[in-house]
Structures are given as structure tokens and as C-alpha cells.
Amino acid sequence: MGNSRSHPGQGLSSQFLPEEQAEIDRLFDALSSEKPSSNTSPRSFSLQALKNHVGEALPSEMVTRLFEGMRRVDLMGKVKGPSENVSQEQFTVSMSHLLKGNSEEKSLVIMKMISATEGPVKAREVQKFTEDLVGSVVHVLNYRQELRGWTQKQALGSLPRVQVLAAQLISEMKLPDGEKLLGPEQLAHDCDRAVIEDWVFRTPHVAMFLSVVIHRGFLLRLSLDLATLIPERQVDLGQEFASILDVLSVVYINSHLPREWRHRWRLLFASELHGHSFAQLCGRITHQGPCVMLLEDCDSHVFGGFASCSWEVKPQFQGDDRCFLFSIFPRMAVYTCTGYNDHYMYLNHGQQTIPNGLGMGGQHSYFGLWIDVDFGKGHSKAKPTCTTYNSPQLSAQEDFRFERMEVWAVGDASVTQPVKSSKSILDVDLEAQSLLEISGRSRHSEGLREVPEEDQ
């Protein structure tokens, strides 16, 4: 498949299709068009040429990393030490590896981007590379004005979300002894090619972010579907609203949604806009299709859950195994279903004998995430983890208070609306009907309405 070994002078296989290879050649011609100096081949380009081309679209550190990764590619053992510049062969092979290659091929170039020395790299060097990569994604998308309505703002005094997401990506790395890189005490460990290759394979965000940086940083005219990376943000016209979420948080959560729902997020409820009211929450989120719910507790922890089905007010659990809980701050993580039970979603209101509130995971009075009908209160109970989602305690305190809550519908707007019932509230609430009769008050609608068909 592709243009393998067909490009003149190409020592290694390119995986680009002919039309893609033409675009790679066009970019190389633009980069190598500067008048060569006495020690520069006319068919190569320098670091300065790359920086001139990229301009301010990428941080200087990432441009240098990309250049070093390309110029140190060894074309089948032909290079005795890194060249000063990047040849056409090196450029084509590097781009092929990073954009189209498997985890082994990607790791070849990434190792050279991480460190200038040959052999294993230190875990702290991988950490710095990952922070630079995540920061570069936000930088280039902001520069190209492709944040799709989201912001890169963060709360004052909080750990930058770049570092939080980078820490999550690094935590997926398995060291040679099989342990995950979970603490600063492990940053001195060596990471060889096998470790980096395994990390790239199991952490798709690394390859995805590199692709965004290259496509948007170099202005490559190749296909890149940003719609499933960053969803379009929709808020009702005339409403000024600063979300709890920044663009990196959205990218992280969005990547865990079913693909068909990743292209658009539509605000259903925000406590800042619609008030601190559980009734308002229920009225705005029910029968709206799948949605993401999140809140920020009074200790600045940010967390929430994804509901794969429309919320309905009823005393039974609902949802399916596509639901999950997540944490955004102080650490990013997603917690998926264990299969232990089907207590995915729960929403109830107006009952006296069973809990009233919104819950996900666990059981009554012991939810993985619970929003009480007394809006502003909730709990996250997990000793040691939630039975439904294997999540730890998400909030700073087991019983927490919160000021900010948001719910976003994902994907296209739901086209199915709930069937309006012809029943009176008294038909479905027998307790209210009995109380009315005991008090001696009559039902004025009795005999004036048709009996609902299901009661006939």
C-alpha cells in the first residue's frame, strides 16, 4: 500500500499515498529553498529554515525537538553520526514514521526527539517531552484559531492542565520492571526503546498529539479530522459563559466517548446560568440524549461522569456499560464499568421512600458520584473503589459541597422527544391522590378527562 520505495533517492519505505507524497515533497521544497551556504546541501534544510517556516505557530522547543528527531534518523546505517541538516530522505522517512507508522516506527523518531544521546532515556526526559508535546497542541490550535469555542484558561493558582494531562499520559508508561510511572521517585529510571514503543502503543494520545503538531505547525495539506479531537462548543446565543473545562480537559474526556458523539457538545445546564436548583437540572437534562456531567467541589476538585443514555426521572437504575466516571483535577483519569452490577445511572425526584437525587455507580446512599436533591451537596464514596466503575473517591471530601455544575449533551441534538402522557400527576402518584381524598378535597378533573388507554 502507498508509495513504498517509489520516491527517487528514498532509502527506506514511505507509507504515503502518491498524493500525500506530493504534499511531503512540496513542503520539503519550501523548507530547502533557501540559498545554501558552503556547507549546506541544496537538498537539505537547517533548523533555522524550519523555524522560519513555522514562525510562531509552535513553541521553539518543539520545533527543535522535531528537527533533532528528523536529522538523527539513520537511513539503513548510512549515516555516521547525525548530519547538520535534514535531507529529503530523512524528512520523508521521519514524516512517514510519525504520521503513518506503527508504534515501533514512531518510537524510533520519538526517542531521538526526547534526548540527544543514544541509548535509553531517563523517565524525567520523557516527562519533559510529554509536557512540551501537550503544551504545543494547545499552542498551535490557539494560534491557528481552531479551539472551536473552548479556551485554554485555567483557574488561578492551580496546577496547569498541561502538566495534569501530561502526568496522566506518563502514568500509562510501564517501566522495565513492569511498574507504572506513578511518582516522582521513579523519574530517574531508564526507559529503553521497548518501553517507549509499548507506551506509544498503549497511549494513543501521544501519536494523535504529534499528528496535530505536525499538520497544524507545518501547515501540511493532508487530511486531519479535528472534529473528533475537539468538539464544537455550543451555548445558547446571548449567554456569556466560562466553563469549568479548558480545551485539554475537553480533548481528554472527548477521546473516551463513542466516536459518533465526539463532534459537538451542547450546553444543557450550568448552575451559573440556570441557578442552583435540582428541579431546573432535571428539567433541562432529561430526554436529551447522551451527556457529560461535571462539577467543581469547594476544594477545587473537578470530576464527573458520562451518561450514555438520556436521563429519565424514575426510581430504577438506567444506562448501559458505555457510561463512565472521570476526574479532571487534581489528576485526569477515566473509570469504566467493571461488570459487577448495572448501577450506571440514577435520577429521581419527588419520592419519600427512596433517595432523591442524581447518582452514578455504587448503590443507594453509597454512590460513586451523587448529587443530592438539596442542590449543592453530594458525596463520592469508594472504600476502596466504586463497585460499578472501580473509581476512587473523586471529591476532596467524601461528603462534599459544590458551587459549579455543568451538563453537556454530546453529538447531534436528540430527535426523539418523550411522549407526552395524558395522565394527571394524580394518576401516577397514588400517594398524592390518597392525601387529597383523606383531606376531603375532590378531584375536579374526575370525569372530565378520558381515561388513559393503558388504564382501560
Q: CA 284: distance to chain centroid?
A: 24
Closest CA to 349 of 363, 359, 340, 360: 359
For the four alpha carbons of 20, 25, 26 and 28, in that order, the dihedral sign comes to positive
Q: Are residues 87 and 194 in the same domain?
A: yes
C-beta separation of 16 from 2 below 8 A? yes
| pLDDT in the model for residue 101 | 95
Other Cβ atoms less than 10 A from the Cβ of 300: the count is 12
Whether 446 is in a domain gets the answer no
Determine which helix (DSSP H) or strand (DSSP E) holds 347, and give its type and residue range. strand 345-348
Whether 277 is in a domain gets the answer yes
Whether 67 is in a domain gets the answer yes
Whether 184 is in a domain gets the answer yes
Instruction: Provide the CATH number for the domain around residue 103.
Output: 1.10.238.10
* Parallel/antiparallel/unpaired status of strands 232-234 and 264-270: parallel
324, amino acid identity: F
Residue segments in the chain with a per-residue pLDDT below the cut of 70: 1-13, 34-42, 76-82, 153-159, 182, 415-456
| pLDDT digit string, tens, across residues 44-91 | 999 999 999 999 999 999 999 999 999 998 876 554 556 789 999 999
Q: How many domains does the chain have?
A: 2
Q: Are residues 130 and 74 in the same domain?
A: yes
Cα distance between residue 79 and residue 88, in whole Å: 14
Q: Are residues 175 and 307 in the same domain?
A: no
End-to-end CA distance of the chain, in Å? 66
- Say what the pTM is: 0.84
Strand-pairing partners, residue 358, are 347, 371
Q: Are residues 295 and 205 in the same domain?
A: no
Q: Are residues 60 and 173 in the same domain?
A: yes
Q: Of 157, 190, 218, which residue is a domain's last?
A: 218
Q: Are residues 69 and 166 in the same domain?
A: yes
Specify the long-range contacts of residues 193-198, CB closer than 8 Å, at least 24 apart. 193/107, 193/108, 193/111, 196/107, 196/110, 196/111, 196/114, 196/121, 196/126, 197/103, 197/104, 197/106, 197/107, 198/103, 198/173, 198/174
| pLDDT digit string, tens, across residues 314-336 | 999 999 999 999 999 999 999 99
In the block, which residue shows the cell 375536579?
A: 444
Domain that holds residue 326: 260-410
Whether 4 is in a domain gets the answer no
For the four alpha carbons of 326, 102, 74 and 26, in that order, the dihedral sign comes to negative
